[in-house]
A and B are shown apart, each in its own frame.
Chain A
Amino acid sequence: MTDMASLMEDRAAAKVISDNLRKPVDWDSPKIARQIKKRYAAERRFKMYGLVAIGIALLALFVLVFSIGSKGYSAFYQTYVQLEITFDPAVIDPEGTGDPDVIGRANFDGLIKQALRERFPDVTSRSEKRNLYGIVSGGASYDLRERVLENPSLIGQTRTIWLISGDDFDMLNKGYIDPTVDEGDRRLNDQEVSWYNQLVEAGAVEKQFHSRFFTSGDSREPELAGIWGAAVGSFYTLLVTLALSFPIGVLAAVYLEEFAPKNRFTQIVEVNINNLAAVPSIVFGLLGLEVYLNVMHLPRSAPVVGGLTLALMTLPTIIIASRAAIKAVPPSIRQAALGLGASPVQTVTHHVLPLAMPGILTGTIIGMAQALGETAPLLMIGMVAFIVDIPGGALDPATVLPVQIYLWADSPERAFVEKTSAAIMVLLAFLVLMNGLAVYLRKKFERKW
């Protein structure tokens, strides 16, 4: 019975629909016009969502770049303080030997302190003196020593000299420390601020280009820290990475694309490459720690280990890009070579590889750029050590640019914030350069067959 009723209902509904269909639609009716308007509005809204999404993404990029740029640009300048230094022979070279060893061991720090005490003679108490010495960086004495070693005739003279200032004074001069806030809430007390003001009034404070940032290694003192050590470490690490991953990656790609029979081994290799490309980078760090350090006992913190670890990470990128490039070489080239009597290996080395090389190089550069920005696996293998010396080879302890950024970002000193941002700018500049090169290569050698 119920079946019958529902059947009747269905029939009735079907009749309504078919009646409606048979009725011609009045496209000019206000109802339809409203509907179309609504649909078009929906269309515009939808399009707007897309634009907004892209806008948000680009805004995020802009804010990122802007916040780093605005924090970091000041790191390229450093505050210097002018002081009148007396190169007292009694301190530098009491016996007048002129021996560089004697001069090198002299107490230049004392000279600077002496000059500071003379500049502010009213400072007497111990703690005040300690604050006073903070005006000039601890590294200034090395500069002074070099100056005297270069020019021994300075001994006995009195000169006004620009000395690198301590990080707190640098921050004050750059406006990062607000002297108007409550004394307890800032790193410098009122007396130190007043010294600063006196020096400024005397024209004895100046910002100079901070070349030390590009030439020195890491330091606990922000004003003495530089990125050169990390840059050299990055260079050695990338060198090892490139030397391993490029030949291995290209050979593997050639094999898989040109010679490999379709069998189980090839299949396993392909699955493995795809999975390796998606393994989190930190897992590679664990691998490096276990295999290279615990089993093979390679030196900790060395670029060689970093390079070996990063090579495994870059390998899938290079293999995938190389395979795509090799695949893009048309079969007619191979057939022509084979037809002229070249062996399969000759065909590949003489014809396919040279034609695929731009694509392979593009992929390699992109892989290297990734390796340059990689941090996490290097933390695992001990490249986070505090290293002052510039590494002299791939076996010396070193750190790399991104790890240096991580280390500085963790430092409590306010002045390291600008150093970190500046180091990021340098790192990004390298990345832009590398990616630009890749794009250029692709544009220049791109060939449509």
Chain B
Amino acid sequence: MSLSFLLLAVAALCALSFYFGRQRAVALSGGRHSNLHSLPVHYGAYTAAWCGLPALFLLLIWYCFQGSVIEALIVSDLPQEIVSDSGRLSLALNSISLIADGNGQHLTVEPEIVDAGRRLANIQTIANAALVVVMLSGAVLGLSLSYRKITADMRARNNIERIARYVMIACSAIAILSTVGIVFSLLFEALHFFTKINPLEFLFGLEWSPQTAIRADQVASEGAFGAIPLFVGTLLITLIAMCVAVPIGLFSAIYMGEYASPKFRAVAKPALEILAGVPTVVYGFFAALTVAPFLRDNGAILGLDVSSESALAAGLVMGVMIIPFVSSLSDDVMSQVPKSLRDGSYGLGATKSETIRNVIFPAALPGIVGAVLLAVSRAIGETMIVVMAAGLAANMTANPLQAVTTVTVQIVTLLVGDQEFDSAKTLSAFALGLVLFLVTLGLNVFALKVVQKYREKYD
């Protein structure tokens, strides 16, 4: 029974229990609703909630543990020499799952593995059936219990409202849960990584070449995990992006807010917003196939040696992407400067531009700094543009015409394709992710604080 069918079945049961609960309430009322404590729909909703929520809860718990339990079952039956070798183990697990899915005919593997594959298929069938039984029995149990509890003076409305409140609290808690999930999943694998590589070497090392050898006797066996070249590359591209986005964003915000006629504003503002809505993969394609060749060819005319994966191309396009971000944030900030300041300046005979430069801009500066910091954090975390347009070579250079690589590019390169969760190479992606998360988080918290403080000043 597939998952979607199961969910449909539970939904149908819910609808049924709503009907039953309502019917029972109507029957108990003897035709007069005033005999009931709550409206009949409340009784229906009460039974439906007791039918659906336990089933969904069971499903959630089940899916959290099913995978690891099944894997543990399979691994426990494998011969010791496979289990002890993690590389062989992951290979074996792979073939086992292929065999279990019925795609393993072409594999040449040990008979134990074939057996294990058959067993896995068996276990999966049993697990699916068990899930169906558990979920449906949970639903039916909840239904029958709640159905029996219905009496004319049961406080069904208060009950269902309490349930609704708990559900709402649970939904709000998901925001916390996902933060916790991010922190823990990054921290767990990063700590794993730091047992292999010294954190100081990671944070301050000057060489990055994560290719560790698959076999011990290969050449270039030791990878180097010094992340400084990645940080330099990230900062270089961010800097270029900011050089584009900050002046253009700021000046367009000023023009939009102070000079533009309503008609112009109505056209230009949404047009600018389009820039923010274009998917980053499109910018990446644009950077790699239009901007980078353009820069290379024109650089060659000027006698410059521009790499075809130059930091400049990625940075320029990223800057274009961030323009609307800077402009809308600084527009917000500048429109919050009190009118009295502006009027005072005009009253002294200042022109518009003098007012903006000497009064509004200084007054709004903290907010604008906050906006720029938010933009920086976005540029640091941006992935697709640099993946497609920046290079892979970890060069330590401040020359925008050369290829550099960034933190996000390395995360993607390390994790796309086959992953072994015991090699430093894969795990280093999580360490990079942790650094990325902490830096952007720090920037955001700081920027929001600055903006908030600024807001309070004029409130």
Name the distance in Å between B127's Cβ and chain A's nearest Cβ: 11
Are A297 and B66 also in contact (CB < 8 A) when A40-B351, A47-B255 are?
yes
Name the distance in Å between B359's Cβ and chain A's nearest Cβ: 14
B20 proximal to A (CB < 8 A):
no
- B24-32, B203-211, B305-313, B432-440: which one contacts chain A? B432-440
Scan residues 281-324 of chain A and give those whose CB is less than 8 A from a CB of chain B. 281-287, 289-291, 294-298, 312, 315-316, 319
A211 proximal to B (CB < 8 A):
no
The answer to whether B286 touches A68 (Cβ under 8 A) is yes
A119 proximal to B (CB < 8 A):
no
A384 to B418, CA, bound (A): 12
Are A286 and B411 also in contact (CB < 8 A) when A61-B274, A279-B182 are?
yes
Interface of A is mostly: helix
Choose among A47, A369, A374, A394 the residue with the greatest number of B CB atoms under 10 Å from its CB: A47
The answer to whether A67 touches B290 (Cβ under 8 A) is yes
Residues of B within 8 A of A286 (CB): 182, 185-186, 411, 415, 429-430, 433
The answer to whether B4 touches A290 (Cβ under 8 A) is no
Residues of B within 8 A of A60 (CB): 275, 320, 323
Scan residues 152-166 of chain B and give those whose CB is less than 8 A from a CB of chain A. 157, 161, 164-165
A161 proximal to B (CB < 8 A):
no
Residues of B within 8 A of A427 (CB): 279, 282
Chain A positions near chain B (C-beta within 8 angstroms): 39-40, 42-43, 45-47, 49-54, 56-58, 60-61, 63-64, 67-68, 71, 247-249, 251-252, 254-256, 259-260, 266, 268-269, 272-276, 278-287, 289-291, 294-298, 312, 315-316, 319, 343-345, 369, 372-376, 379-380, 384, 393-395, 402-403, 405-406, 409-410, 417, 420-421, 424, 427-428, 431, 435
Are A64 and B286 also in contact (CB < 8 A) when A47-B255, A251-B167, A278-B440 are?
yes
The answer to whether B168 touches A255 (Cβ under 8 A) is yes
Residues of B within 8 A of A287 (CB): 178, 181-182, 185-186
B113 proximal to A (CB < 8 A):
no
A384 to B284, CA, bound (A): 16
The answer to whether B164 touches A345 (Cβ under 8 A) is yes
Name the distance in Å between B265's Cβ and chain A's nearest Cβ: 10
A427 to B173, CA, bound (A): 34
Residues of B within 8 A of A384 (CB): 416
Q: Please count the residue pairs between chain A and chain B whose beta carbons lie under 8 angstroms apart in the complex.
A: 273
The answer to whether B416 touches A417 (Cβ under 8 A) is no
Chain B contact patch, size range = 35 or more
Name the distance in Å between B346's Cβ and chain A's nearest Cβ: 13
- B67-75, B79-87, B130-138, B216-224: which one contacts chain A? B67-75
Residues of B within 8 A of A285 (CB): 415
Name the distance in Å between A62's Cβ and chain B's nearest Cβ: 9
Tell which of B164, B281, B283, B411 touches A282, judged by Cβ atoms closer than 8 Å: B411
Chain B positions near chain A (C-beta within 8 angstroms): 2-4, 63-64, 66-68, 70-71, 157, 161, 164-165, 167-169, 171-176, 178-179, 181-182, 185-186, 188-189, 247-252, 254-256, 258-259, 268, 271-272, 274-275, 277-286, 288-290, 320, 323-324, 327, 351-354, 356-357, 374, 377-378, 380-384, 387-388, 408, 411-412, 415-416, 421, 429-430, 433, 436-437, 440-441, 444-445, 448
Name the distance in Å between B71's Cβ and chain A's nearest Cβ: 7
A43 to B282, CA, bound (A): 38
A375 to B387, CA, bound (A): 11
Name the distance in Å between A402's Cβ and chain B's nearest Cβ: 4
Are A255 and B252 also in contact (CB < 8 A) when A39-B354, A279-B441 are?
no
The answer to whether A57 touches B252 (Cβ under 8 A) is yes
A-B contact pairs, 12 of them (CB 8 A): A60-B323, A251-B167, A279-B381, A282-B411, A283-B433, A287-B185, A312-B174, A373-B282, A375-B384, A379-B415, A380-B412, A431-B278
A437 to B378, CA, bound (A): 27
Name the distance in Å between B270's Cβ and chain A's nearest Cβ: 8
Name the distance in Å between B326's Cβ and chain A's nearest Cβ: 10
The answer to whether B279 touches A402 (Cβ under 8 A) is yes
Known: A275-B179, A282-B412. 18 other contacts (CB 8 A): A42-B354, A43-B354, A53-B255, A54-B251, A57-B248, A60-B275, A61-B271, A61-B275, A68-B282, A255-B172, A256-B172, A276-B175, A282-B381, A290-B189, A291-B185, A295-B67, A373-B279, A380-B412
